[in-house]
Structure 1
Amino acid sequence: MSGTEPKAGRLRIGVLGCADIAERRMLPSMLRQPLVEVTAVASRRIERARQFTERFGGSAVAGYERLLERDDVDAVYVPLPPELHVEWTLRALAAGKHVLCEKPFATRLADAEKAVSFARESGLLLMENFMFLHHSQHAEVRRLVAEGLIGEVQLFGSEFGIPLRPDAGPQGLPRRASTLPEVAAYPIRAARLFLGDGLRVAGAQVRPDSPYGPQPSGSALLVAPSGVAAQLAYGVEHGYRSGYGLWGSEGRLRLERAFSTPDELTPLLRVERGGTVTEIPLEADRHFTNIAGVFARAVLCGEDFTPHTEAILAHARLVDEVERAAASF
C-alpha cells in the first residue's frame, strides 16, 4: 500500500472542493460509513472549507495542493468540475493518495488511459463514483430478469433528463454543461450494467448548441453482442426523468428515480405481464454510503484494484464512441 498507513479500520479521506454533490449527498453519506473518516476539506476559499468542516468534521484547508501534502489523508474524494478531474487525480496519485472521483472521470479517453496507467504503476486505487450501481434495487431487478420475470430481454431503454438550473449565464440565461459526457453517463453506464460489455454504437445524435450551452440533449442506439438494443436519451433542458426499462418476450418492467434515488425512498418496480400491471416494492438503500464503503474496503483490505480501473476505461471508450458517432451524424 502506497502513502501513509490508514488508521486501523478507517480510511482517512480528504475532499478536494466544496461542490454541491459533496455537500448534499456524499459527505453526509460518508458520515454514516464506519469505514471512512473525513479528515480534511480543501477549497480555494478557506471560509467555504470551514463551512464544510463545521458540518462534516476534519480540518479546513486553503487550496487543493496543501491538502495533498497532509499526512492524515490516505485518499481523496474529487467532486470538482469534470474538466479538472484528471489534473487533480494525477496530482493526488503523485502524492501517494488513493482517489475516488466523481463521474464522468474524464472528458477524453486518452486522459482516462493516462490516469489509469499512472494509478496502476503507483499501486493506488482509482475509482469512479457511479454511486447508483451500489443501490440494491438494481441487483434485485437483474435477479428478477435473470429468473425470467419478463421472458427473454429484447430491448433496454433509459433516460436521464434534468431541468435548467436557475443560475444565469452571461446573457441572463440559465447555464448548463454539455450533455456529453456528464449527463449521458448515467444511461450509458446503466446499459452496460444490464447488457454487459461489448456494446457497439449503431448511431447517436446531439442537438446543436442552444443559448443555454453546448449540446443540451442527445440520444444513442447501442447494440449488445446478443443483438439486444439499448435506446438512450439524455438532456438538460427537460422535465425530470431518471429511469430505465426492459422489454422482454413476455412482459416489460420500468424503474423510476433509478439514478438519483433518495436514501429514504422505497423504489417501486412497475411490471406489465399478461395484461396485468403490478408494482413490486424494493428495499430502500443508501447508495452514496455504500460506494464510500466499497472504496474504503478495497484499500483497507488490499483488494484487487483492477476491476475499478477497467470499469473507468470501458465507460470512457463507450462514451468516446458515442461522441464520434454523434459528430458524424
Structure 2
Amino acid sequence: MTAAAQDRIVGGTPHHGRIRVGVLGTSEFARRRMMAAIRGHPGAELAAVASRDPARAAHTAAQHGCAAAADYGELLARDDIDAVYLPLPNALHHEWALAAMESGKHVLAEKPLTTSAADTAELVGVAARTGRVLRENFCFLHHGQHRTVRDLLRGGRIGRLRRFTGAFCIPPRPAADVRHRPELGGGALLDTGVYPIRAAQFFLGDDLSVTGALLRQDAATGVDVGGSALLRAAGGEIVTVDFGFEHGYGSLYQLWGSEGRLTLERAFTPPPDLAPVLRVDRQGEPVHTVLPAEDQYAATVGAFAAAVRRARDLGTDPDHQAWAAAAVRTAELVEEISRCAQHITVETRERG
C-alpha cells in the first residue's frame, strides 16, 4: 500500500475520499439495513438511489437524504458515484452487476451473486479484467464472532473437527414475495441455504463436495421452500446444511470435534446490539461466553469501502483472487445441490 493510501486509512477509518455509493433497488433489507449502514459509515457516502418506480425512488431518497435517479441506467451514468450496492432480485444481479462494472463502478451485490456458477464466473472475470472491486454481500463474514470460533477451532478447543452443521430458516413469506418467483431467482436454497454453505467454506475451505440433498418444492410456484444437503470436506469431515422459509426462525451452526462442541446461535443475522453467546461443551461441562456486540452491516460497508480505496490506489483489487474463488465455489455447490436433490412436492397453502 502506498503512503497516500496509508494517509487515507487510520484504524480502518478514512480521513477523506469517502466512497460515493449508488443503490440499485429499494428492497426492504436495503432500506432497513444497508442504506442506513452506508449513510452512517465515515468511509462511505450514500449518493443516490434508483428504482423501477421513480416515485418509490424519490420517496426512499427523501428518507435517506440522497439523490433519486429516474432508473437504473441513469444512476450508472452519474459521475458522482464510485460504487454500486445492488439489492435487486437474484435473477437480475448478473445483468446489472455487469452493467455497473462496465460503466466504471465497483459493485457490492446481495447474495447470491448470481443464480448460476457460469454467470458468477463471468462477473469474477470482468472484475479481474477491469480492476473493479466485486463483492458478494455475506454480511455475517464481517462479524468477529466467527473469527473467534475459528481461532478456538484452530487452537484445538474441541479437538479434531468431525462435523459441521448449519441452519438458516425463516417464517413463511407473503405470496407476492420475490422468493416465490422462480423467474426472479426465488427459492430457499438461493435465499437462505447459501448462508450455512458459505459458513462451511469459512471453516473447512472450498474443497467441499455434495453427496446428497432433499428439496421441498412448492407445487404451485415450483420454487423450493426448504431443504437439507449433505456434503463432505477434503479431510473427511461431514457437513450438513438446512434451510427454508416455512419454519420458525433459526440461524445457527455447530462444530463437533473429537473432544467437544462449539455452538453459535443467531449466527447469520445478529442485530447490531446483540452480544452473541458462544457455547463450548467439553466432557459434559458447558461454558457460555458472551462475545462483544458488533454491527456486521457497518463492518461490511467499511470493508467494501476500504477495498475500493485500495483498488483505486493500486489500479487493481489485491484481494480479488481469494474472494473470487470462494464466491465461484459457493455457486458451484448450489448447483450441485440442485442437480442431485430429490424433490418432495408440497401443496400450496395460504402464506402470511
If the length of structure 2 is used for normalisation, what is the TM-score?
Answer: 0.86
Matched, 1:325 2:332: no
Match of 1:4 in 2: none
CA-CA distance at 1:139 after TM superposition? 0.3
- Superposed CA offset, 1:50-98 (max 9, x none): 2222232221111110000000011100000001000111111111111
Match of residue 294, structure 1, among 275, 289, 303: 303
Match of 2:331 in 1: 316
Which residues in structure 2 correspond to 1:36-115 (within 5 Å)?
36-115=44-123
Give secondary structure in 2 for the equivalent of 1:168: coil
Find the aligned partners of 2:265 and 2:172 in 1 and give their Cα distance: 20
Match of residue 24, structure 1, among 22, 26, 32: 32
Counterpart residue type for residue 242 of structure 1? S
Q: Is contact 1:108-1:320 (8 Å) kept?
A: yes
Give secondary structure in 2 for the equivalent of 1:181: helix
Closer, same or farther: CA 328–200 of 1 in aligned 2, 3 Å? farther
Closer, same or farther: CA 160–210 of 1 in aligned 2, 3 Å? farther
- Superposed CA offset, 1:186-213 (max 9, x none): 0100110111121111111212334465
Find the aligned partners of 1:169 and 1:294 in 2 and give their Cα distance: 34
Q: Is contact 2:168-2:244 (8 Å) kept?
A: yes
Q: Is contact 1:210-1:216 (8 Å) kept?
A: no
Match of 1:220 in 2: 229
Give secondary structure in 1 for the equivalent of 2:217: coil
Match of 1:9 in 2: 17
CA-CA distance at 1:127 after TM superposition? 0.8
Structure 1 residue ranges (4+ consecutive) displaced by more than 6 angstroms after TM superposition: none
Match of 1:192 in 2: 201
Q: Is contact 2:189-2:244 (8 Å) kept?
A: no
Find the aligned partners of 1:266 and 1:106 in 2 and give their Cα distance: 32
Q: Is contact 2:98-2:123 (8 Å) kept?
A: yes
Among all aligned residue pairs of Structure 1 and Structure 2, give the percentage whose two residues are the same amino acid: 46
Give secondary structure in 2 for the equivalent of 1:300: helix
Q: Is contact 2:212-2:229 (8 Å) kept?
A: yes
Which residues in structure 2 correspond to 1:178-257 (within 5 Å)?
178-211=187-220, 214-257=223-266
Find the aligned partners of 2:165 and 2:242 in 1 and give their Cα distance: 8
**Structure 2: which 5+ residue stretches go unaligned?**
1-14, 312-316, 345-352
Match of 1:158 in 2: 166
CA-CA distance at 1:327 after TM superposition? 5.8
Closer, same or farther: CA 128–249 of 1 in aligned 2, 3 Å? same
Q: Is contact 1:164-1:175 (8 Å) kept?
A: no
Give secondary structure in 2 for the equivalent of 1:207: strand
Size of the aligned set, in residue pairs, is 319
Q: Is contact 2:180-2:221 (8 Å) kept?
A: yes
Find the aligned partners of 2:323 and 2:48 in 1 and give their Cα distance: 25
Find the aligned partners of 2:25 and 2:91 in 1 and give their Cα distance: 13
Counterpart residue type for residue 295 of structure 1? F
Matched, 1:273 2:273: no
**Structure 1: which 5+ residue stretches go unaligned?**
1-6
Match of 2:9 in 1: none
Match of residue 168, structure 1, among 169, 175, 187: 175
Counterpart residue type for residue 245 of structure 1? Q
Q: Which moved more, 1:304-313 or 1:10-19?
A: 304-313
Counterpart residue type for residue 314 of structure 1? R
Find the aligned partners of 1:154 and 1:279 in 2 and give their Cα distance: 21
CA-CA distance at 1:175 after TM superposition? 4.7
